[in-house]
Amino acid sequence: MTELLQRSLLPAPDFREPSLYVRTGGSVHLMAANGAADQVAAHLAPGASVSFDSSFGVFHAGRWRRLTSVDQLSVRVIASGTGRVEVVDCARGRETVIASAALASHPTELALGSLQSSNWGVLYVRVVATNESTLERVEWLTASTPAHDVRLNLSITTFNRHAYVVPTVKKVLSLVRGLPLLRGKVRVLVVDNANNVDFGEAPSDDLAVVPNRNLGGAGGFARGLMWLRAQGWATHVLFMDDDINLEAES
């Protein structure tokens, strides 16, 4: 059994800074995948390429090695067509292809070996098409079992920032509810200093809204931490601003 560590995704077709996600060469067209507006695929013409050597696309192998017990590492490329998949290590100013395979009509999986005994810096996937191909995403996997039972609660303090906080919460809940790995492991708490936020749904196991006096950000975050400690569910808390445009995958 493998555990999902990270996904490298494609940007929405209308996103203004696609290089945050991927770098492309040749004719690459981004489109909705499987008819779903929130899933993106890249259509690659012959000779085109997609590379995930980007802020959102790389796998920080050195960080995972130092901070976790993850060892055996593999990568799965959800793509179809004809071409080549390469996994590239970037360390000490040099790039090295550490694994490669032919692109197949089904997901292509490459075993990379032991993370703990490696000297890898950051890893990324590059796909080069020889004929028309379609790429959806990259998944970084491990056979290692989780060392801890982590339960994460996001805590967002807000005051009349509905245009930001409502989409942020909806993005997070859509990801959590749609990904079995996260379901039951991630919750969202919103401390509402204005007492007027509406998410269009009733409170649930994964969404709680706590009314609060307008005591500023510090007062809201303190109120959130007190509430979470009293609940006793979370092992970790992530405090977040309410005026951000969030990539939920992060």
Where exactly are the structural domains of the chain? 3-142, 152-240
For each successive 10 residues of the chain (250 residues), what is the average pLDDT? 94 92 97 74 98 97 97 97 98 96 92 98 98 97 94 98 96 94 96 96 94 95 98 98 89
Look at residue 38 in the predicted model and tell me its pLDDT. 67
pLDDT score recorded for residue 104: 85
Classify residue 4 as exposed, middle or buried by CB count within 10 Å of its CB (0-12, 13-18, 19+). middle
Q: Which class is 3-142 in CATH?
A: mainly beta
CA 36 – CA 51 distance, rounded (Å): 23
pLDDT of res. 36: 59
The tokens for 33 are 């995948």
DSSP string, 57-90: T-B-HHHHHHHS---EEEEEEEEESSEEEEEEEE
pLDDT at residue 35, rounded to an integer: 59
Residues 46 and 130 sit within 8 Å (Cβ to Cβ): yes
Query: Which of 136, 113, 172 minimizes the C-alpha distance to 42?
Result: 136
- The predicted pLDDT at position 221 comes to 97
The hierarchical CATH code for the domain 152-240 is 3.40.50
Distances (CA, A) of 124 to 15, 97, 103: 21, 10, 16
CB 157 within 8 A of CB 191: yes
Buried b (16+ CB within 10 A) or exposed e, 141-179: bbebeeeeeeeebbbbbbbebeebbbebbbbbbebbeee
How many Cβ atoms from other residues are within 10 Å of residue 22's Cβ?
Answer: 27
Other Cβ atoms less than 10 A from the Cβ of 74: the count is 18
Q: Which tokens go with 221?
A: 């975050």
